[in-house]
Structure 1
Amino acid sequence: MEISWTGIEVGDKDAYSHAYRKLYERFYNYGVKLVEDSALVEDVIQEILMTLWVNREGLRAIKNPDGYYYVLFRRALSKRVAALAKTKTIDGAEFDPEFAADVMMIRQETDQALKEKLAAAIHTLSARQQEALFLRFYEGFSYEETATILGISVKATYKLMARSLLTLRDKVSVPLVYIFFLLKENFH
């Protein structure tokens, strides 16, 4: 069941409860890939989901609520990490997402050597490339939505994704179509 933004907008607590559970899981999976402090991620999720309920009447004006709340979550998490870094609560913390290679291990039956090769290849990508792959293949966002979340143009998102995929193809030595298959299997 998808999120009923209209239901939330009119104050349907069941719709909000469903959205809360669904968004909490999605934001948590995304947030712990950006920062290692799960308690911090949970705090920011609570903040964003409370904002959703408090500002529910304005949902109609938002063209893409999924993408909008991802952007809010990412920005809030970034601000919180920056604030904590200033107070030295997180030693040397900065908002530079690094997705661990083990998170991206292929879950389907494939040969172990290919799994290791793909994981190693993903690990060589920049944090930004890894984040774009995560948003595109795990969360299923379109290029436009990914661009919005990352705060870059759609054209830059296409370039970022193309470079990432070509790098993976060259490092894993399999056709690009197979890389797509492996990534989809890897992130679902």
Structure 2
Amino acid sequence: MKHSQHIARIIAITGLAASALALSGAMHIQPPTAPVTRAPVQNCHAAQSGVDRGRFRGPTEQAAKSAWNFSVVASVGPSYAKWNKARNADVTCGHDGKRLKTWTCTATAEPCDDGPPNPTPTPTPTPQPACYPSISIEGADTKLQSGAQTQSIHAWRGQVAQYGAIYQDWNKAQGKDITCRHNGLGPLQRRWRCVATGKPCK
């Protein structure tokens, strides 16, 4: 009797193990996936080179890299002058074959900078003043005083053009004044000149 119970217990345990194995196969259990580490985005420029000459190869290689740094700073900026971040970096050296060798090394690489490029800052426009300092200018001479006044205003507008058309309106000028004089001759030979003065305002 005890022997029969022992056999039944073994069969039950075997059945449970088989069920567990079948269940694990149906679930397709897979090992956890390691997180993907992405390399930082790089902004790179065209390859540049630095050259140097010296008696010993090691120091000459370093000097060539320094020459590369100076070239990169001058052309694309100091943030790219990082040899350890450069792409396709290479240093080639050779000597002249003489007993006291002179080494020539050339460092070539594409200068790169991590992260997105720095946007070019948009310059903030300088606000224009309501008025500029007063301007006085003499116009062309004419036979009539009224004509000389018109000529002086025309000359004033021409001078104010440097500030923009919005300031050329004589009617908006502040502190306006027109002074006129003539050459002192008789009515037939008299010529008038006027000076227009005013602060150009918008």
TM-score band, normalised by shorter chain: under 0.3
| TM-score (ref. length: structure 1) | 0.22
**Higher Cα radius of gyration:** 2
Structure with a larger share of its residues in strand: 2
Higher helix share: 1
